Amino acid sequence: MDGFDTHGRIKCATVATPSFADSRADYVDRLALEVVDEGQVSPELAASWGAPACAGRRFALLTSASAAPGFLRLVESTPVVGYRPLRSFGWASYELTCQAVFALHERIAGKGFAVIGAPKLVPGFDNFIPFQVTGRAGEVLYLNEVLQSTMSGLDLPTAEAPVDFTFIAILAAPDADAAVRFHVDRLGFEAGETYVIPYSVINNAFGFPPEHKTRMTMTRVGRVPATEVDQYPEGTAERPTVAGELPPGNALVSFITRSLDAIDAAYIAPPARHDGPMYAGRRSACVRGTAGELIELIEAA
C-alpha cells in the first residue's frame, strides 16, 4: 500500500503474552493474520524498549492478507499477578479495521477471545460497527467494521481482509489533557475532536451504570487517526509489570515519525537501526508518555 508509512501512522501494535504459542495460534487461526517474521527479541531491541528482560524471548510479527504494511507483534512475557484489562493506565486497546464483524463474532467468540462487547450499531456513531474482545494475555481489541470512511475530521480505513491493520490506539490516561498535550507538543501529532459518551466497556470494567459518561479526545495527523485518549476514572491503577519486561497485554505502540531528531522527548535508549520487515533498517527509539504508555517511533525514511 503506497503512502502507508506517513507521520503519525500506527506501524505496529505489540501484545505481551505469557501464553505465546496459544496466542500465536489464536491470531493466525481465528483472526486470519499471517506470520511474516519470528524469532527471539534481540538485546538491542529489548534495551530500546526499556525491557532488557525481553531479550531472548520469542516474538511473532503478523500482518493481514490485505498487503497493507501494518503489523501486530506478539512478544513472550511472564504472567503478571493482578493485571486486569481496562483497569490500569497505559495502552488500553488496539482498534483494527475488519470486515463482516457479525460473522467474525460468530467465528471467534469463546475461541481464544472473550467477547466484552458484541457487535452493535452505536447511536451517533453510524460510521462503524464496534465489536470488542479480550485475548489470552488480557489484551483488548476493538474489531470495527467501517461503514463510511469519513467522519468529522478523520478518514477511517475500510478493511481489505477479514481482520486488517491497527488504525487507532486507545490510551487510558489519568490526565487526558496532559496526555494529548504530550502527543501534540512532543510527538508532533494534532488534537482532534473531543466526545463525551456512555462507554460500555469502561462502564462494565468498573461496574458503572450504563449512562455513566467518559470523555475522550482523538489525536491525528491531517485526517489520519492516531490515538484515542480516554479520561480514566478514580480507582484506575498503575499497570503492574514484571521488572525489566514490557507491560502485560496492550504493551507498546509503534508510530511512524518524520524524524527522530525532531522529537521533543527523552528516549529510553539512543536511536538505533533494526532489521526485519517492520523496521527495514530504519532508525527507531522509544519514549514513555504521561500515562506511562510505551511509544516506539520509527523514521519514515
Domain hosting 111: range is 10-299
Predicted pLDDT of residue 50: 98
- Residue 56 is assigned to a structural domain of this protein: yes
**pLDDT values of the chain reduced to their tens digit, one per residue, 301 residues:** 568 999 999 999 999 999 999 999 999 999 999 999 999 999 999 999 999 999 999 999 999 999 889 999 999 999 999 999 999 999 999 999 999 999 999 988 888 899 999 998 776 667 889 899 999 999 999 999 998 777 677 888 999 999 999 999 999 999 999 999 999 999 999 999 999 999 999 999 999 999 999 999 999 999 999 999 999 999 999 999 999 999 999 999 999 999 999 999 999 999 999 999 999 999 999 999 999 999 999 999 7
Query: Do 10 and 226 contact (CB within 8 A), yes or no?
Result: yes
- Name the amino acid, one letter, at 115: V
pTM across the whole model: 0.96
- Residue 3 is assigned to a structural domain of this protein: no
Rounded Cα–Cα distance for residues 141 and 56 (Å): 26
Predicted pLDDT of residue 124: 66
- Residue 139 is assigned to a structural domain of this protein: yes
Give the count of domains, the chain.
1
- Residue 207 is assigned to a structural domain of this protein: yes
Predicted pLDDT of residue 155: 86
CATH code where residue 280 lies? 3.10.180.10
Rounded Cα–Cα distance for residues 248 and 264 (Å): 27
- Residue 4 is assigned to a structural domain of this protein: no
- Residue 2 is assigned to a structural domain of this protein: no
The DSSP-derived string for the chain is -TT-S-TT-EEEEEEEESSHHHHHHIIIIIT--EEEEEEE--HHHHHHTT-GGGTT-EEEEEE-TT--S-EEEEEE----TT--TTSBSEEEEEEEEES-HHHHHHHHBTTTBEEEE----BTTBTTEE--EEE-TTS-EEEEEEESSSEETTEEPPPPSSSEEEEEEEEEEESSHHHHHHIIIIIT--EEEEEEEEE-HHHHHHHT--TT-EEEEEEEEETTEEEEEEEEPPTT-BPPP--TTSPPSEEEEEEEEES-GGG--S--SS--EE--STTTTT-EEEEEE-TTS-EEEEEE--
- Residue 1 is assigned to a structural domain of this protein: no
Predicted pLDDT of residue 245: 98
Predicted pLDDT of residue 231: 98
Query: Do 213 and 93 contact (CB within 8 A), yes or no?
Result: no
Q: Cell numbers 505465546 label which residue?
A: 20
Predicted pLDDT of residue 1: 55
Burial (CB count within 10 angstroms: exposed 0-12, middle 13-18, buried 19+), residue 40: middle
- Residue 138 is assigned to a structural domain of this protein: yes
Rounded Cα–Cα distance for residues 211 and 8 (Å): 33
